Amino acid sequence: MKIRTLSRILTPKEFVIAGLLNEGPCHGYEIERKIRDRGIRIWTQIGFSSIYHILRKLKQAGYVSQTANVAAGKLQQVYQLTTSGRQALYDRIRQSLVSLRKGEDEFDIAIANTVDMPPEEVRSLLRERINRLEREASDLERLRDEKTAAGMPNLPAVTILFDRPVALMRAERDFLKDYIKNF
């Protein structure tokens, strides 16, 4: 199925911000709180300092509107997804859910260049990676359980953000264990 897009494709960071704004209008600090509270930084590189830069880019593209609001005696800029912003978000969702985009993975580059390394050193490094994968998976499960207990909104969509990386890490761990046996 070919996905037809009508709008400029959102960058990954714009995708995150547009998704949060799709939940309703908010200001930059609310976006930061949602990113922090939901553990979004586990799976994306979006710093607090870049939130306003991204909001400006989305506004320039016509995907976000901005209004001033006074709350607790402070002037705040409130951002809201426009109709074209919502369309761009949905286009990106459709594209991303069906895409099997391949990226550059440093692990693949490294393993391809181990030809001259002593096999025992490579096995040792792979065992270390296996241990790290297991620790990271356990940490994500613990964090998922904390978020679940805290009653996160849109829980099924939030838990998959933890469960999928855990499943991928465990699959890689199992693959590497089998690989080491034959290395």
Cβ–Cβ under 8 Å, residues 92 and 43: no
CA angle 63, 104, 106 (to 5 degrees): 130
Whole-prediction pTM value?
A: 0.73
| Other C-beta atoms lying within 10 Å of the C-beta of residue 172 | 16
* Secondary structure E strands in the chain: 64-71, 74-81
Instruction: Give the CA distances from residue 160 to residues 51, 84, 101, 113, in Å, rounded to whole numbers and listed in that order.
Output: 24, 27, 19, 34
Per-residue pLDDT of the chain (183 residues; tens, 9 = 90+): 444 545 688 999 999 999 999 999 999 999 999 998 887 887 788 989 899 999 999 999 999 999 998 877 888 899 999 999 999 999 999 888 887 766 667 888 788 888 888 999 999 999 999 999 999 999 989 888 887 777 766 667 777 878 888 999 999 999 999 999 887
Cβ–Cβ under 8 Å, residues 18 and 31: no
